[in-house]
Amino acid sequence: MDKKIRCLFGTDGVRDVANKGVMIPEMVLRLARAYALFLAERGVPRPKIAIGTDTRLSCQMLQCALEAGFMSAGADVMLLGVMPTAGVSFAVRHYNATGGAVISASHNPAEYNGIKFFDRNGVKLSDDDEASIEEYLGDSMLDEWRPTGASIGRARDAFGAMEVYVKHMLSKAVALSLSEYKIVIDCANGAMIEPARLVFSALNPKDMVFLGDEPNGININEGVGVMCIDTARDAVIRECADFAVAFDGDGDRVLFVDRKGRVIDGDVIIWVLAKWLKKRGKLGGGVVITMMSNMALEEHLKEEGITVYRCPVGDRYVYETMQRSDSMLGGEQSGHIIVKEHVQTGDGLCTSLMFLQACKELNLDIGELVDEFSPYPQMLKNVKVSNKEKALSHPDFLRSLRECEDIIKGKGRIFVRPSGTEPMVRILLEAKGVDLKSIVEKLASDIQKIDEELKNKVV
């Protein structure tokens, strides 16, 4: 069976500059109707859909459109308010909803926004399901299907949803105390502010310093959070803290900073969690990582006798691979991590609690983990490109890539991929004993040159 082609959906839902392109209210309303019709034609005559948002100014506008689209298609709506992506996933299951939607552009700047959909299990939709929704957008039935009277959907506020999510998170950390630590928590001016404050306060830290906890609608991810980890790093040094926890705008990613100001990325967190879960007999078939994970992680896991599976970038691809391999842990270097016993999508708060609990039980010093992990030197460069796919498949670029691969043969690897959410090509190089910068700059220059030629080419 041929795989369906998606045009609208990317790596993590539909995303664009808010009020431009595909993120205009008219398009979001049609997208909502298409999702409701998708559910109805699969045996759910009156879907119940939970909606959560991050703190962007444009969320209110897009929520109105999404809400109207759902109700006009006969779906009932539960409004969760500002809620981390994983909180929406949890709410779908907790309230027995048919599906869910998150209005967020995650780690992107405030001018962007997006829509991510969940199924009734709180799992992000598959590529095929997203392609099916796109098909409904072009189907005349979408415009003809107009419930009337009592069949029109209703909306209600889900009061107390945040408290339920926080209580659920605390139930995962009943034996965890942070009384010996002074900690910095960076919430990226996003959706994790309230739950992080409530959960970490309940764990009784010696002292707590909050950053990125004053959202104004246009400062999400701006100079704070995982996208600007230097802010947390500087705060750790300035405050003489034991470590920092940094989230992104929708709270599905988390990174740590140790007391020496060094970043503990998703690879190190996965390494610690894998050892912990194996010791507890809860690792399942192995660990799923993406093509972006450092080679050192794979080597460390294999030394522990742990099977490693690699998959494309994106936490839903991680989850799908976990399902196929019966793995209970998977994630990305960027901090999207899924501990399947507890969550169905990346949850920065759950990950941070599990990581801290693992360090306690394994008697690991958070300040020494980076030294013990000893990653391959790695360089990641984002190159702005208009014609991503054409540039990467161009013969001149493929020739340049082969030349660079010959230089690092046996010493490391190069991974080049188009961004699923931005007009970018991402170049990752990791190797020992080579000049990373010169190789990456050559590839970046070649891509830009080819892209410029493609733009100027007269068709």
Q: Looking at residue 188, what DSSP letter applies?
A: T
What does the pLDDT read at residue 5? 67
Using 50 as the pLDDT threshold, list the residues of the chain that sit under it.
1, 458-459
Looking at residue 133, what is its pLDDT? Answer: 94
Structural tokens at position 209: 């310093």
- Closest listed residue to residue 340, CA positions, set 360, 357, 320: 320
DSSP-derived letter for residue 223 is S
Which of 58, 89, 104, 106 is the catalytic position?
106
Q: CB-side exposure of 447: number of CA atoms within 13 Å?
A: 28
In this structure, are residues 52 and 80 in contact, taking their beta carbons and an 8 Å threshold? Answer: yes
Indicate the pTM of the whole model.
Answer: 0.89
**What are the residue ranges of helices labelled H in 47-182?**
59-72, 85-94, 127-137, 141-144, 161-170
Helix (H, G, I), strand (E, B) or coil at 96: coil
Distance CA 142, CA 36 (A): 10
Contact indicator for 266, 335 with CB cutoff of 8 Å: yes
What pLDDT score was predicted for residue 389? 86
Smallest CA-to-CA distance from 334 within 440, 441, 443, 420 is with: 420
Q: What is the pLDDT of residue 459?
A: 45
> Is 106 tagged catalytic?
yes
- Contact between 357 and 277 under an 8 Å Cβ cutoff? The reply is no
pLDDT at residue 144 in the model: 87
